[in-house]
Amino acid sequence: GSRVGQITGLAGKCVDVAAANTADGTQVQLYTCNGTDAQRWTIGADGAIRALGKCLDVSGGSTADGARVQLWTCNGTGAQRWTHTAGRDLVNPQANKCLDVTGNNPADSTPLQLWSCHGGANQKWNLPT
């Protein structure tokens, strides 16, 4: 079944939809955990990760380092597939890259991005069980 809850990472902070905005293209960021729906993620068996009725998405299906990670209408594409590894990486298999906190910066509102996996703390994520 689906697992629902917070995704926590660097400095114990949460994967958060900026301002709980449901518009396509809304930035997904690191933010202090606050129990709001903007931080409530459903981990689907299909590899999709959903919040506010939309999906965690790599902008334009990019495979480049630094690609924007955003909220987007769910469409079943590779840009919206994620695999949580035993090492706690969240990998987008299409790019074979990791969900990454930009600049290893633990400040609130730091944007998330796609980056080559390197094992750093800014690429480690705990998913709801």
3-46 residue pLDDT tens = 999 999 999 999 999 999 999 999 999 999 999 999 999 999 99
**What confidence score (pLDDT) does residue 129 get?**
85
Instruction: Give the E-state strand segments of the chain in sequence order.
Output: 3-5, 14-17, 26-31, 41-43, 49-51, 54-58, 67-72, 83-84, 90-92, 97-101, 110-115
**Which burial class, exposed, middle or buried, applies to 74 when counting CB atoms under 10 A from its CB (0-12, 13-18, 19+)?**
middle
Predicted confidence (pLDDT) per residue in 94-110, tens digit: 999 999 999 999 999 99
Task: For strands 97-101 and 90-92, give the pairing.
Answer: antiparallel
How much is the average pLDDT of 70-74?
Answer: 99
**CATH numbers and ranges of domains, the chain:** 3-123 (2.80.10.50)
Furthest CA-CA distance within the chain: 34
